[in-house]
């Protein structure tokens, strides 16, 4: 291979890795391609050459820091020279520690309970010999605090005077407490009522909130004074009706499984009764009751429990002749009992929402929605841009039709692994629904999103998907959009989805950005 070919490959590597064509990045890429081609150049062996002249301690330390270029070696040696004055370093470290403690002591007396508690814990951390991991953990806690801190609660006091969010003391002094105490009390009362009302709108059994309920809840939380408006009454009534309907639907779904167990138990007992002495009036009465239970649909857990209890009492008091048959079928009865317990446990666990898709082990749609809300908050507060990439497996229905749903599940799992392997640690990938997947790319514009999507698309196209000794050809289409080019998060999602639709309409197996 010629030097010109290696140069071209080095430039191509930088383009694929999304790096700028700087001297340092180019030198690193050139040496990698030269090594890959088996060509040893003097320019690429400078680091190794100079490293060999240092003592063993320096060589060991260089290995730990993974020094690969001359610029990295120079920075390392400069930092070592700057640290040669140990007394100066120790004095500087002590001064920084004392300074940090004083800052924490100031934070501790400020009027924020969460910040004060974190300051106390941080002071305790500095008072002992903490490990780097502990210090880094507390640093992350402070980062989380400043990222999520919200001072909008002060805006509720604007009606009482001038508010300066940077000077809490002057804001309190400027409040017109005497003249507006009645209005403040009324406002606080409405806020309390609004909070209780919003809590009452949350379904007590259903695991999710209807969009309409969420909308009116958010409206009331933002503006409690709406409760004094007549127009809001109909919306609240509608939201309450929706909440009741959601709970009823959830109860119906949970009871259906229990109702099925009741049906099987009833049929089994009827079969046992019919095999006994049919001349007994008590047995005929129990049989009639069980048949009536089957005809009447169960809509309540208490009704189901009462039916089972009635059957048990009737069997205990009036069907002594069935004891032998019941003993012979004790194993089946125990199995049914365990099944009921398992179903009840599953019903309880269903209330706890999981963020993981059960098949692909990626984030599910609910988790993706939460992450997008967090990214949107960071964008609005700090201007951190991000991109959304929507993926859709081409002709996925044909895979299910031709090879079966087990093959479709295997394809989804394999694609999820490819998607996860190409994503960075800061990126978020998940299953958006069906054969559609989403990637949320941190600090990435649309062009960077296209590079990521193309990597995934090419890898899928080259992959060999095998199912039961049969190779399945597979491609994927993608739509890319960045937040900065849209007026809202929802518009960004819609734009990415429209780009995906265009990619499929234009022939599939391609990436389209907007």
Residues noted as catalytic: 435
| Percent of the chain at pLDDT exceeding 90 | 28
Q: How far apart are CA 455 and CA 437, in angstroms?
A: 15
Domain span at residue 114 reads: 86-148
506 and 390 inside one domain: yes
Tell me how far the alpha carbon of residue 203 is from its chain's centroid: 22
370 and 507 inside one domain: yes
Residues near 427 by beta carbon (within 8 Å), at least 6 away in sequence: 439, 440, 441, 442, 452
Q: How far apart are CA 300 and CA 9, in angstroms?
A: 70
Beta strands in 281-385 (DSSP E): none
What residue has token string 């700087």? 22
For CA atoms 315, 317, 320, 323, the dihedral sign is positive
Q: What is the β-pairing status of strands 511-513 and 476-482?
A: parallel
Q: How far apart are CA 154 and CA 447, in angstroms?
A: 40
Residue 168 falls within a domain, yes or no? no
pLDDT tens digits, 332-371:
767 777 888 887 777 656 644 578 898 999 999 999 999 9
Q: What is the mean pLDDT of residues 171-180?
A: 60
Residue 161 falls within a domain, yes or no? no
pLDDT tens digits, 301-341:
556 666 666 666 665 555 555 555 656 666 776 777 788 88
* Per-chain mean pLDDT for the chain: 77
Residue 279: its pLDDT value, please? Answer: 43
Residue 175 falls within a domain, yes or no? no
Six-digit token string for 314? 């009737």
Residue 352: its pLDDT value, please? Answer: 47
480 and 505 inside one domain: yes
Per-residue pLDDT band at 498 (split at 50, 70, 90): very high
Quote the Cα angle for 397-401-404, to 5°. 110
What spatial distance separates the first Cα and last Cα of the chain, rounded to whole Å?
40
Residues near 459 by beta carbon (within 8 Å), at least 6 away in sequence: 418, 422
Angle formed by the axes of helices 113-127 and 86-108, nearest 10° = 150
Residues near 177 by beta carbon (within 8 Å), at least 6 away in sequence: 160, 184
Q: How far apart are CA 57 and CA 76, in angstroms?
A: 14
- Is residue 87 within a helix (H) or strand (E), and if so which, with residue range? helix 86-108
344 and 259 inside one domain: yes
463 with 411: CB under 8 angstroms?
no
414 and 478 inside one domain: yes
277 with 319: CB under 8 angstroms?
no
Q: How far apart are CA 371 and CA 364, in angstroms?
A: 11
320 and 375 inside one domain: no
163 with 176: CB under 8 angstroms?
no
User: Quick count: other Cβ atoms within 10 Å of Cβ 31?
Assistant: 21
292 and 419 inside one domain: no
Q: Which of 198, 215, 247 is the last residue of a domain?
A: 247
pLDDT tens digits, 14-53:
888 887 778 777 777 888 888 888 877 766 777 777 777 7
Q: What is the mean pLDDT of residues 246-267?
A: 68
Q: How far apart are CA 84 and CA 67, in angstroms?
A: 20
Residue 173 falls within a domain, yes or no? no
User: How far are the Cα atoms of 166, 387, 421, 484 from residue 143, in angstroms, in the given order?
Assistant: 19, 23, 28, 24
288 and 328 inside one domain: yes
**DSSP structural state of residue 279:** T
419 and 500 inside one domain: yes
Residue 420 falls within a domain, yes or no? yes
Structural domains of the chain, count: 5
Q: What is the mean pLDDT of residues 155-159?
A: 62
Helix (H, G, I), strand (E, B) or coil at 141: helix
460 with 476: CB under 8 angstroms?
yes
431 and 385 inside one domain: yes
For CA atoms 62, 66, 70, 71, the dihedral sign is negative
Helix (H, G, I), strand (E, B) or coil at 39: coil
78 and 99 inside one domain: no
pLDDT tens digits, 101-152:
777 777 766 667 788 888 888 888 878 777 778 888 877 887 777 777 776 7
335 and 404 inside one domain: no
Q: Which of 26, 48, 82 is the last residue of a domain?
A: 82
Q: What are phi and psi of 278, to 5 degrees?
A: -75, -5
Residue 162: its pLDDT value, please? Answer: 67
Residue 359 falls within a domain, yes or no? no
What residue has token string 């005077």? 161
Q: Which of 82, 99, 124 is the last residue of a domain?
A: 82
Residue 425 falls within a domain, yes or no? yes
159 with 175: CB under 8 angstroms?
no
pLDDT above 80: residue 446: yes
What residue has token string 């299953």? 431
Of 498 and 212, which is predicted with more confidence? Answer: 498
Six-digit token string for 105? 């002591």
Residue 7 falls within a domain, yes or no? yes
């Amino acid at each position: 291979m010629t030097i010109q070919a290696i140069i071209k490959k080095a430039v191509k590597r930088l383009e694929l890795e999304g790096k700028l064509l700087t001297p340092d990045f180019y030198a690193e890429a050139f040496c990698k391609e030269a090594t890959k081609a088996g060509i040893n150049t003097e320019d690429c062996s400078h680091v190794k050459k100079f490293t060999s002249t240092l003592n063993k301690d320096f060589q060991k330390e260089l290995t730990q820091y993974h020094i690969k270029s001359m610029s990295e070696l120079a920075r390392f040696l400069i930092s070592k020279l700057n640290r040669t004055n140990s007394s100066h370093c120790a004095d500087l470290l002590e001064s920084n520690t004392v300074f940090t403690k004083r800052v924490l002591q100031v934070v501790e007396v400020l009027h924020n309970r969460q910040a004060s508690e974190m300051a106390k814990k941080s002071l305790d951390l500095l008072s002992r010999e903490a490990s780097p991991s502990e210090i880094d953990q507390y640093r992350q806690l402070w980062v989380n605090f400043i990222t999520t801190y919200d001072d909008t609660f002060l805006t509720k006091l604007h009606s009482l005077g001038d508010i300066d969010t940077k000077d809490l003391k002057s804001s309190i002094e400027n409040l017109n407490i005497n003249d507006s105490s009645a209005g403040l009390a009324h406002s606080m009362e409405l806020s309390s009522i609004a909070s209780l009302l919003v809590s009452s709108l949350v379904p007590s059994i259903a695991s999710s909130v209807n969009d309409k309920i969420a909308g009116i809840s958010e409206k009331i939380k933002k503006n409690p004074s709406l409760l004094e408006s007549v127009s809001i009454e109909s919306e609240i009534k509608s939201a309450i009706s929706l909440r009741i309907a959601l709970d009823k639907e959830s109860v119906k779904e949970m009871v259906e499984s229990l109702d099925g167990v009741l049906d099987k138990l009833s049929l089994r007992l009827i079969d046992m009764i019919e095999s006994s002495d049919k001349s007994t009036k008590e047995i005929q009465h129990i049989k009639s009751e069980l048949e009536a239970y089957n005809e009447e649909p169960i809509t309540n857990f208490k009704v189901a429990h009462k039916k089972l209890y009635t059957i048990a009492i009737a069997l205990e008091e009036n069907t002594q002749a069935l004891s032998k048959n019941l003993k012979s079928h004790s194993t089946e009865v125990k199995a049914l009992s365990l099944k009921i317990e398992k179903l009840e446990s599953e019903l309880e666990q269903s209330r706890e929402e999981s963020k993981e898709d059960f098949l692909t082990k990626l984030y599910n749609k609910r988790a993706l929605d939460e992450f997008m809300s967090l990214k949107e908050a960071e964008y609005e507060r700090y201007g951190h841009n991000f991109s959304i990439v929507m993926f859709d497996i081409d002709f996925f229905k044909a895979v299910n039709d031709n090879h079966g749903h087990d093959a479709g599940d295997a394809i989804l799992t394999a694609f999820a692994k490819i998607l996860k392997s190409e994503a960075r640690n800061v990126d978020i990938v998940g299953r958006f629904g069906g054969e559609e997947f989403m990637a949320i790319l941190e600090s990435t514009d649309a062009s960077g999103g296209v590079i990521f999507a193309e990597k995934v698309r090419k890898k899928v196209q080259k992959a060999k998907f095998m199912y039961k000794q049969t190779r399945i050809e597979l491609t994927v289409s993608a739509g890319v959009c960045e937040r900065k080019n849209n007026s809202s998060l929802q518009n960004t999602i819609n734009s990415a989805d429209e780009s995906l639709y265009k990619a499929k309409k234009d022939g599939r197996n391609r990436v389209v950005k907007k």
